[in-house]
Chains A and B, each alone.
Chain A
Amino acid sequence: MQLTQKHQEYWNRNLKITAILLGLWFVVTFVVAWFARELSFSFFGWPFSFYMGAQGALIVYVWIIWYYARYMNNLDNEYGVEEGEE
């Protein structure tokens, strides 16, 4: 009933991608908002920080979730832990 080394490796890679994507999430949300006043140069009419809060960050969020789903589905197949059926 022990996990194999392969299983452990799968989990570690999962943790790694989770950490990276979480870092990206943190930067577009909190770092940009923290420097909102400094980042207010004009970006197609919007002040940049306003654009990020109203659209840019949202697009990144959708991308993060989409990318994670894709990455993990591939990882499942690679490590043989995918589900048999949908």
Chain B
Amino acid sequence: MFGQDKSIKSFTSQLAKVYGFYTGGFLTVVILLAIAEQMGLSRAWIGYIFLILTVALYAGIGIMSRTNDADEYYVAGRRVPAVFNGMATGADWMSAASFIGMAGTLYLTGYSGLAFIMGWTGGYCLVALFLAPYLRKFGAFTIPDFLGARYGGHAPRFVGIVIAILCSFTYVVAQIYGVGLITTRLSGVDFTLGIFVGLGGILVCSFLGGMRAVTWTQVAQYIILIIAYMTPVVWLSVKQTGIPLPQIVYGFQLQKVSELEVKLNADPKELEVRGIFKQRADDAKAKLADLPKAMTEGKAKLEADLAAARAANDAAATKKAEDGLAKFPKDETAAKAAWAKEAALAARAAPIAAHGEAFAAKDEAARNIAKKNFLALILCLMVGTAALPHILMRYYTTPSVRAARASVTWSLFFIFLLYFTAPALAVLVKYVVYHDVVGTAFSALPAWVANWQAVDPSLLSLSDINGDGIVQRAEIAIGGDIVVLATPEIAGLPYVISGLVAAGGLAAALSTADGLLLTIANALSHDLYYKMIDPNAPVGRRVMLSKTLLLVVAVLAALVAAQKPADILFLVSAAFSLAAAGFFPALTLGIFWKRATGIAATLGMAAGVAITFYYMATTQPWLREMFFGIPRAVPADLWWDINPISAGIFGIPLGFIVIIAVSMVTKAPSVEIQHLVEDVRYPNLKRA
């Protein structure tokens, strides 16, 4: 007993040493690269070196941790110390969306974006209070394992497998898409090639060593991603405030941003630009209202202009009219698309919404809808966090119930470090844009503005709408992703830090993809094949099957991601709502209510997922078009104004109601199952 305790302690300190050296080594490489950059190493090479180095590193850890043992493969031998499991969960949890997208969302939406910050952290309270210690005590390999044992029979397990695959697959497609984007940005290779390079890194790791390799790689990935996230923000904070603790001081920057917002909203030049946008949007709307008439009249007018200009022998006017004719939409479909784009400029005609104001909207009714959706989204994200199998699975890997509890604390702590920095980053970047960019002459823009405009106009584009040669706030169109990606340049750091940030984003996407792929492969090989089809299958065959499936699922997900599915952010949120409605009621009631029966759980899970999916499919424009062929422009028939992103808000209560109601009218679970529930509730139950 004591010996084992001691060995765990020495294992932990040995790990601390290994990762300490690793962190030191990584920082040394970054510094060496920075020196090499000063000596003339090109940006492309810095990108390649970061890409090759980090992917090789993850693959190396995978090769070192290769295993065919079931316990090692599925749950890393159940000896991952709490701190390291916390870091691994942090990396598993934080996806490309957290790393790159979140600060951008906060920049664009201000207070509303905080729903993601609270939702994706507060969910861990539910994990800690309702699930992690009990699942660890149960001590299986997967989440369907628990459902199968607790509720008995194949039906609950099978529904569990379907839900686990459904939500993990939608999520993994989004991650692999992110991997492709970042690899392309880091090294300039083609998007599809980028996906497969990243995929190689994922596969070598999880294919060879399963959960064991994934865990140790994720720890390494966490270290890279947190260094990459913090470095530029801290530097930017020093530049703006002189204090290297952005999280503490950005309140004052927010105050300054709010003052600038008020000033800019009243600025006559801003009003002029917004007026131009409004005019253009109104014109386009009028044209859209009667398309054929607008087509003929528009063309006739340009032709008349051209004729007049030619008659007057005015070269400039002739050129203008010719260009106008060349650009004029060829047919009605083209015209509709072009004018719909113009009509969307209405959004840019709106005044700046205050960053710190909650539920900013035009009237009380609109504010109430915003509030309702804000709360609903938080709830869905929180409950979804406490129901995603790739996260819950991680708590099977700790040595004890005690360690599982501690491990949730560490998980949230490591996640917290990034999440409480993201809102600071958004405010600091907003200050730069409002203070340094707005008001400068177009001829004297900072270098990073020109660079990013050239790289990708969807991320940043400035155009002199009112022709005064000065940048107005309304003339800047900004895409959220730039906030994280461009911070190193905004802060005036060398390119090597930009490479570091991209490597951090890659680590975030790869680590999440690793965990998700493993979840899917295990659900198929362990739960479906071993537990339901062939209970006599030898360990070797099960692990081999899991590895093969991993390969198949990974390639399948990559193929879907290569199609660039329309709405990535929606896919991610859908995974949360589906997991929340499917798993949370059945898991918690399974632990806290002995009377919950198998039939009830099966029906409850199915009902929760079904209504969530139904609501999404009938209200989300993209899905609605796919399933029912309803054009996107048709307004959706919402229930109580709840947005499709929070569809889980209907599924979660329905799941609870169905399980409770059906349990009451079905036969109580057997004594063995009731004993199982009791066992799960006590870390060590010595019965009287």
Contact = CB atoms under 8 A, between A and B. Distances in A.
Interface in B383-434: 399-403, 405-406, 408-409, 412-413, 416, 419-420, 423-424
Given A2-B688, A37-B358, A21 B405 contact: no
A61 to B, nearest CB: 5
Interface string A43-86: 11111011101110111011011101100110010001111111
A72 to B, nearest CB: 6
B22 interface: no
A74 B321 CA distance: 82
A54 B682 contact: no
Given A45-B254, A69-B405, A58 B117 contact: yes
Nearest to B256: A45
B371 A53 contact: no
Interface size class of A (residues with CB under 8 A): 35 or more
Contacts of A61: 121-122, 124-125, 412, 416
B120 to A, nearest CB: 10
A80 B682 CA distance: 10
Most buried by A among B130, B252, B401: B401
A64 B5 CA distance: 27
A30 B297 CA distance: 55
A7 B682 contact: yes
Contacts of A44: 251-252
B358 A36 contact: yes
A55 B247 CA distance: 9
Contacts of B371: 33-34, 36
Contacts of A25: 122, 125
Contacts, number: 158
B107 interface: no
B356 interface: yes
Given A54-B117, A55-B420, A57-B118, A82 B128 contact: no
B405 A68 contact: yes
Given A58-B420, A82-B683, A47 B357 contact: yes
A8 B8 CA distance: 32
B251 A45 contact: yes
A76 B683 contact: yes
Contacts of A37: 357-359, 367
Contact of A85 (B1, B405, B688): B1
Given A53-B117, A57-B118, A36 B359 contact: yes
> Top 4 closest A-B pairs, CB basis?
A45-B251, A36-B358, A53-B114, A69-B405
Interface of B: 1, 4-5, 8, 111, 114, 117-118, 121-122, 124-125, 128-130, 133, 247, 250-255, 356-359, 367, 371, 374-375, 378-379, 382, 399-403, 405-406, 408-409, 412-413, 416, 419-420, 423-424, 675, 678, 681-688
Interface of A: 1-4, 7, 10-11, 14, 18, 21-22, 25, 29-30, 33-34, 36-37, 40, 42-47, 49-51, 53-55, 57-59, 61-62, 64-66, 68-69, 72-73, 76, 80-86
8 contacts: A25-B122, A29-B122, A33-B374, A44-B252, A46-B356, A69-B408, A82-B684, A86-B4
